[in-house]
Structure formats: C-alpha cells, structure tokens
Amino acid sequence: MLIGYVSDEDYTALADVAVDFERGGRVVYSTRSTATGAILGDLPSREYRVTLVKAGYGSKRVVLPYQAGGHAYSFRLLSDSLLGAMSPKWVTSGGRAEFCVHSVNPYRLSLYRYGLEKEFVKLIGWYDAHGARSVMQITPDGDYSQTGVAWNRVGWGSLHHTQTIEAPSRSGLYYLHAETSQGEFFSFPWIVAPSEPTSKIAVVCATNTWNAYNSFGGRSNYVNARSLPATPTVNSRQDLQRYHGGTYDEWLFPDSEYLPLSFDRPEKANHIPKETQAIDPIEGRDACHLAPAEWRLLAWLEREGFAYDVYSESQLHDGTLDIDAYRVLLLPPHPEYWSRPMFERVQTWVQGGGRLMYLGGNGLNCEVELTSDNAMICRTEMPKEGDGFESRLHRRFASEASLLGARFTEPGIMTAAPYQVESANHWAFEGAGLLNGDTFGENSLHERIPGGASGHETDKRSPQSPPETILLARGLNPDEGGAEMTCYELEGGGAVFSVGSITYCACLLVDEATSLITKNVLTRFLR
C-alpha cells in the first residue's frame, strides 16, 4: 500500500531513502523508497515516528498520523548545501531582520553593501552549535512553496544567541556572505530602504519578479505554477507541464487555480560569486534579469555620481515608499509582476508631475496580489486570442503601455542587438554625436543573451500608449522584434522614459553611448 512519497527541495523524487516507522520506542517497519520516491508498506492506521535517512541529504524525523488508504504523505528532505535568505528580505534602516542559513558545516557570516564596489560593512560572526551538523536546517513536508521554509524554527531556541541583525543607516542593496572552512560560499540579498528619503531618486528592486522565478520547494510561476502535482518529478522534460504543448501551457488555467508563492524561500538565482565585481559579465540563466543585474544599475548610478534610495516592490505596494518625496522613480531590468496598487499609485504620481525611468523589458505584464502572510498570488491566466487584451495585466485592468508607453510582444524574444537612432534631434541624444540610422548599445555584460542593449525580451508601442509617446530608437533584432526606446512628457511636468529591453542595464557600465543617453535623461528628469 502507498504510504507517501519522498522528494528534495526541487520536488525531485528521491530513491533508496532508508525509512523506519517506530511506535512505543521501537522500530515496527523498515523500507526504502522506490525509483519514483514512493514509500510502500502494509501498516495499520496509527501514529508513527518516521525517520528518513539518505546520504547527501539531511536526516529527519516526522510524527505521522497515518491513515491506511488515505492521501499519500509528502516527505521532503533538504540536500547538503550552503544556502541562505533574510527574513524579511527588505526592511527600513534601523529595522531588524533574521538571517536563515542552511549549512552542514560551521559558517562565517559577513555583511556587504553592493554598489560600484562590494563594500565590507561588518563581520556578523561564526555560527555553529556544538552538535554534528547542528546548523543544518529542516524544511517542512508538503508544499512549502506556499508557506515558506520556516527556517530557524526547529531546535534553534537559545537565550544566548540571536539570528537577527539591525539594518545599516544607509539605504542600498546589501548582501550577506556565508562561507565555510571547507570553501563553500553562498551570498543572498537584503534590501535596506531609508527611514526617511535621502535623495531625489528611488530605485525599486523587482522583488516580485525574484519570487515569481524562484522554484525553491518545487514551484515558481514557471514550474508547477498552479500547485505541486501528486507525485514528485523524476525527469523534468517528461513530467513538467511547461515542456508539453505550447510555451504558455502553464498559464492557460483560471486565475483561481494558482496557489500562493511565499517570499520566505532561498533564491539561488540571486547568488553572486564571491570574486564577481560589477564590471564582470553576468553569468547564468536567471542572474541576468534578477538581483545580480539590478546591482549593475546601482553600480552605474554610483559611477555617474547619482545618489539614490533603494526599495522593494512590497514597499511601493504598502506605501513605505512615499513616491511623492521623490523626483525620479527607476525601474530595473525586469519588473514583470506588479500589484494594482503599485500601478495606480505610480500612474497617478506621473500624471501629477513624477518622472519614471523604465530601464527594463517585459515590465508590468502580470498582476500579483500580495498577501498578509509574506506571499503573493500571480494572476497569470493568458489573454485569449482576439479578446483585445495586450497582456495578462491588461486582461485584469489596464495595459502597461498606458503608463510605460510600450508593452511586451514576442518578436525579438531571446535575441539581442544594438539600437538604431530614430529621433537624433531629441534631447536624450545630446552630446552623443549620433545621427538617424546610427547604432549604439553594442557592448553588454549579459551572457545569457549577448549581442546588445535591445534584447532578451522587448517592448514596443501599442494603441494603449499615450498619444505624446515619441519613438527615440529601435532595436535591430530579427523579425522586427527590436525594443522601442520611447519617451513622453505631460503638460503637468510628468514624464516617462522607457527602453523596453531586459538587456539594457547590462550595457550601462560598458557601453559609452547607452550610458550617456541614460545620464541625459536622468539629469533632465531631476531638474
């Protein structure tokens, strides 16, 4: 009879896990998991203490109220690795957050601020707790992608040790560095917003997008988007919905079927290797559009002498970010997932005189609802052909083009190219020495999609774009898929500059023309 399944943090089936069932202090049944991770046995309906052991994974005990013939239980084990996350992942200066690190060895923890340089802030300390593997974490069973990993909760109580640290007074993107004496290294981000505005520029890190792409626990908005399936994955290409049928098969279901995604999970894609500097190429599939790419934007701001404050998208959503106190709002490479309050707040601000610089692509494309328990729900059902909606966001309430001046379309996806100038006499090109037909944006740090500043995913104007929208430049991507760089200015002083490309920020530090154009716009918007 099927008792349950055992899987790892990716919801991949674990075979040959040793499993003991105990009652009254003695083992009453022993078995091993099968190739599909199944645990089989003929046991009466009772409460058991279950012990699971497999080399390379953290051993674990579970109290299981077993019901014969009932639902299969989902046992979860955590692989031996070095991982970490802050909880919460964003605070204001002076606030406190908890560091949650998983390690099978003692580790050293340090705090750095990531700007033009990696600035060492302070040593947090060395962490161990006497017993073997005592700083190893334990994940909950079942689908903890909804509820979070709940680290530092089992056996971590102590009157003499704390896992919280106070946020520095200076706003910025911070990283915690965890290192073991065995040479393991893992870094994880922490956003520190100012308690009071300190500049005229607010940068909003795309933390909703970080979460949407984070599959820790077995789910993201791209892998098992609705919920975990009944059985763990054995082969991704054979088992996962995303690899069967069309590209967007994950998103063909009603919004009501999509379960929450917790922010309380480590984000492997946001890890930055210890030796990497801002000027270095951006390695990896996801790093090129998440926090490691956003770091390059912040580094460019510091190189060019612009002071800035940093916020999370949740802080824009809940009003912690008072946008009326800022002259310019900067959006990073891929702010794809926005809530309705975020959109409406920024749109009202622009109409009232605020200046928005959208330095990314495929932005504001999908509505999310942020929940009170540190999670979000993606309203991700795709528009149907011919229904007149331009995006998932538009299907819910508005086209992103009505604010940004452009919206994502598929042509040009997964390609990159330079831009070609269309309106050389526009003030954005002042001092660049460019004429109509000239190109710029050839140099890039983006290794996933190399080739230029227009790429990865690209936005273009639409019927929903404001009538004041001007085309400044267009990417030379194939199939007329180039990003459209646009700008519009309103009578009340509000303005929006949009580059429509994910790869754009990866060019700022290494492409002279791209840097100058962006500096021209930011300087004018600050006036």
- Residue in the block written with tokens 């049944």: 29
Task: Give the DSSP letter string of 226-288.
Answer: S---SS-BS-HHHH-GGGSSSTTGGG-S-GGGPPPEES-S--GGG---TT--TTS-B-SSSGG
Max Cα separation, the chain? 84
Q: How does DSSP classify residue 290?
A: S
Helices (H) and strands (E) in the chain, counts: 8, 32
Beta-bridge mates of residue 90:
191
Structure confidence at residue 247 (pLDDT): 60
Among residues 125, 136, 188, 189, the alpha carbon closest in space to that of 162 is found at: 125
Backbone angles phi, psi at 215, to 5 degrees: -100, 15
Instruction: Give the integer Cα–Cα distance in Å for 338 and 363.
Output: 8
- Residue in the block written with tokens 């520190």: 192
Structure confidence at residue 153 (pLDDT): 84
CB atoms under 10 Å from CB of 244, counted, come to 11
**Consecutive H or E run containing 184:** none
SS3 assignment, position 461: coil
How far is C-alpha 442 from the geometric centre of its chain's CA atoms?
A: 27
Phi-psi label, residue 153: left if phi above 0, alpha if psi -120 to 50, beta otherwise:
alpha
User: How is the chain split into domains, by residue range?
Assistant: 2-76, 286-526
Residue 451 · residue 518 · CB < 8 Å = no
Structure confidence at residue 524 (pLDDT): 98
Residue 100 · residue 151 · CB < 8 Å = yes
Residue 197 · residue 326 · CB < 8 Å = yes
| Candidate CATH numbers 3.30.70, 2.40.128, 3.30.420, 3.40.50; the one for domain 286-526 | 3.40.50
Question: What are the distances in angstroms from CA 436 to CA 261, 429, 501, 516?
Answer: 46, 11, 20, 17
Instruction: Give the integer Cα–Cα distance in Å for 284 and 212.
Output: 17
Backbone angles phi, psi at 57, to 5 degrees: -135, 155
Structure confidence at residue 160 (pLDDT): 53
Among residues 517, 516, 514, the alpha carbon closest in space to that of 504 is found at: 514
Question: What are the distances in angstroms from CA 247 to CA 104, 243, 410, 419?
Answer: 39, 8, 11, 27
Instruction: Give the integer Cα–Cα distance in Å for 346 and 403.
Output: 8
Per-residue pLDDT of the chain (527 residues; tens, 9 = 90+): 999 999 999 999 999 999 999 999 999 999 999 999 999 999 999 999 999 999 999 999 999 999 998 999 999 999 999 999 999 999 999 999 999 999 999 999 999 999 999 999 999 999 997 888 989 999 999 999 999 999 998 766 555 567 999 999 999 999 999 999 899 999 999 999 999 999 999 999 999 999 999 999 999 999 999 999 999 999 999 998 888 876 677 888 899 999 999 999 999 999 999 999 999 999 999 999 999 999 999 999 999 999 999 999 999 999 999 999 999 999 999 999 999 999 999 999 999 999 999 999 999 999 999 999 999 999 999 988 888 899 999 999 999 999 999 999 999 999 999 999 999 999 999 999 999 999 999 999 999 999 999 999 999 999 999 999 999 999 999 999 999 999 999 999 999 999 999 999 999 999 999 999 999 999 999 99
For residue 171, what are its two tokens?
């706003």
Instruction: Give the integer Cα–Cα distance in Å for 207 and 184.
Output: 26
Q: How does DSSP classify residue 265?
A: S
SS3 assignment, position 480: helix
- Topology at the third CATH level for domain 2-76: Immunoglobulin-like (2.60.40)
Amino acid at 412: G
SS3 of 86-117: the string is EECCEEECCCEEEEEEECCCCEEEEEEEECCC
Beta-bridge mates of residue 85:
100
Among residues 204, 242, 195, 202, the alpha carbon closest in space to that of 222 is found at: 242
Instruction: Give the integer Cα–Cα distance in Å for 300 and 324.
Output: 24
Question: What are the distances in angstroms from CA 86 to CA 126, 199, 420?
Answer: 17, 26, 42
Query: How many angstroms separate the first and last alpha carbons of the chain?
Result: 72
Task: Give the DSSP letter string of 123-169.
Answer: EEEEE--SSTTTT---PPSS-TTTT---TT-SS---SS---EEEPPS
Structure confidence at residue 386 (pLDDT): 82
Amino acid at 187: S
Residue 263 · residue 89 · CB < 8 Å = yes
CB atoms under 10 Å from CB of 384, counted, come to 10
- Residue in the block written with tokens 């005592």: 134
Instruction: Give the integer Cα–Cα distance in Å for 49 and 60.
Output: 10
Full-model pTM: 0.96
Residues ≥6 apart with Cβ < 8 Å to 256: none
Structure confidence at residue 241 (pLDDT): 84
Question: What are the distances in angstroms from CA 31 to CA 37, 38, 39, 64, 139?
Answer: 12, 10, 7, 16, 22
Instruction: Give the integer Cα–Cα distance in Å for 308 and 359.
Output: 15
CA gyration radius for the chain? 24
Fold agreement (2-76, 286-526): no
Instruction: Give the integer Cα–Cα distance in Å for 184 and 182.
Output: 6
SS3 assignment, position 489: strand
SS3 of 6-29: the string is EECCCCEECCCCEEEEEECCEEEE
